[in-house]
Amino acid sequence: MATYTSERVTAVQHWSERLFSFRTTRSTALRFESGQFVMVGLDLGEGQKVVRAYSIASPPYEDELEFYSIIAPNGPLTTRLQHVKPGESVLVSTKPTGTLVLRDLRPGRRLFLLATGTGIAPFAALIRDLDVYERFEQVVLVRGGRTCKDLAYGDAVLGSLRSSPYLGELAQRQLLDYPSVTRESFARVGRITRFLATGAICTDLGIAPLDPRSDRIMICGNMRMLAQARELLDALGFEMSPGIGVPGDYVIERAFVEAVGGRTPEKARTRQLVGVS
Ligand SMILES: Cc1cc2nc3c(=O)[nH]c(=O)nc-3n(C[C@H](O)[C@H](O)[C@H](O)COP(=O)(O)OP(=O)(O)OC[C@H]3O[C@@H](n4cnc5c(N)ncnc54)[C@H](O)[C@@H]3O)c2cc1C
Ligand SMILES: NC(=O)c1ccc[n+]([C@@H]2O[C@H](COP(=O)([O-])OP(=O)(O)OC[C@H]3O[C@@H](n4cnc5c(N)ncnc54)[C@H](OP(=O)(O)O)[C@@H]3O)[C@@H](O)[C@H]2O)c1
C-alpha cells in the first residue's frame, strides 16, 4: 500500500484548455532520480482518494516538485485537479519509481529524448539535471504535440533553462531541440515516429545518423507511439533495457506499458497502483 504526504500547491499555470502544470512543496524525506514518477492525487474525504501516476518534471536538486498534467475528459482525477489553487493540498506518494532513468542506459555519446504530449514531463526533469550533461556530449529533445499550445510548457522549460546561471551554458552548448506538431501549421509538421523513420531528426539538425554504438534513447508517450518507436529502434539494432538495473541502449516507462498495455503479470499490481481507492 503506497503512503502519501500532503503537499501544498505553490503555483499553477494553465497552458491550454487541456494542459496545465503545478508546483508543490516537497517533503524533505522525498528522494528521487530524474525521470522517475510518483503517485499524485486528491483526498476526497471519508477515507477516499483518487491518485494517478505522474512523472516528476522538476530536477532532484529543487526544493519544490513540478508536475505537468493533461485534463482528461471525464477523468476521475484531472477533472478535479485542474481546479487546484495555490494554498490547497495534493497527495504525493513517498516512493518514487520508474524505468526512465539514466542508470539503465549504457554509456554513450548522445542522448535522444523522444516525447509526445505530456510525455515531455520526465524529460523536463532530465534536461535540467547536470548528470545528463556530464554523461552525454549531446542531448537531443524530440517533442511532438497536437498544436503549438501543446509545446508551450516545453518552450518555457527550455527558455528558463537556457538563461539559467546554473546550467544555461551547458544547455546552450549540448542541448538540441526538435519540436513538431501534427494538427496545425508550424515550422515542422508530422509525427515524431515519421521523423525517426526517415532519419529527418538527424539530417534536419545536421548531426550524424543514429548509431546504436554511441547513441542512447529514452521514449515517453502513448502506447502506440512507444510500440512504433521501439520497432524502428530495434530494426536499427538498438537494444531495450529489459528492466530496472539492467542497462540497455534505450529505455521506456515499463510501469506505463504495464498499466495501459497489460503485457506482464505486474499488470494487476500497477492497475491497483493507478486506481481510485
Ligand atoms: C508511469 C506513468 C506516468 C504518467 N505521468 C503523467 C504525467 O506526467 N502527466 C500526465 O498528464 N499524465 C501522466 N500519466 C497519466 C496519468 O496517470 C493519468 O492517466 C492522467 O492524469 C489522467 O487521470 P484521470 O483520472 O483524470 O483520467 P484517466 O481515467 O486516468 O484517463 C482517462 C483517459 O485519458 C487519456 N489520458 C490519460 N492521461 C493522458 C495524458 N497524459 N495524455 C493524453 N491522454 C491521456 C487516456 O485515454 C485515458 O484512458 C502517467 C501515467 C503513468 C502510468
Ligand atoms: N512516465 C510516463 O510513462 C508518462 C509520463 C507522461 C505521460 N505519459 C503518457 O504519454 C501519453 C501522452 O499522450 P499522447 O502523446 O497520445 O498525447 P496527445 O496529446 O494525444 O498526442 C501528442 C502527439 O502525439 C502524436 N501521436 C499520437 N499517436 C502517435 C503515434 N502512434 N506515434 C507518434 N506520434 C503519435 C499526436 O499526433 P496526432 O495528432 O496525429 O494524433 C500528437 O502530435 C499519455 O498516454 C500519457 O499517459 C507517460
What pLDDT does residue 22 have?
99
Q: What is the pLDDT along the chain (277 residues), one digit of tens a residue?
A: 789 999 999 999 999 999 999 999 999 999 999 999 999 999 999 999 999 999 999 999 999 999 999 999 999 999 999 999 999 999 999 999 999 999 999 999 999 999 999 999 999 999 999 999 999 999 999 999 999 999 999 999 999 999 999 999 999 999 999 999 999 999 999 999 999 999 999 999 999 999 999 999 999 999 999 999 999 999 999 999 999 999 999 999 988 887 776 543 333 333 334 444 3
- Which ligand is in closest contact with the Cα of 20? 1
Using alpha carbons only, how large is the chain's radius of gyration in Å? 18
The best mutation among 52, 253, 276 to test binding of ligand 1, ranked by most ligand atoms within 8 Å of the C-beta, falls on 52
CA distance 164 to 120: 19
- Which ligand is in closest contact with the Cα of 114? 2
Residue for grid cell 477523468 = 75
Cβ–ligand 1 contact at 261 (below 6 Å): no
Q: Nearest C-alpha to atom 43 of ligand 1 is from which residue?
A: 70
CA distance 168 to 17: 30
Q: Nearest C-alpha to atom 16 of ligand 2 is from which residue?
A: 222
Amino acid 173 reads: R
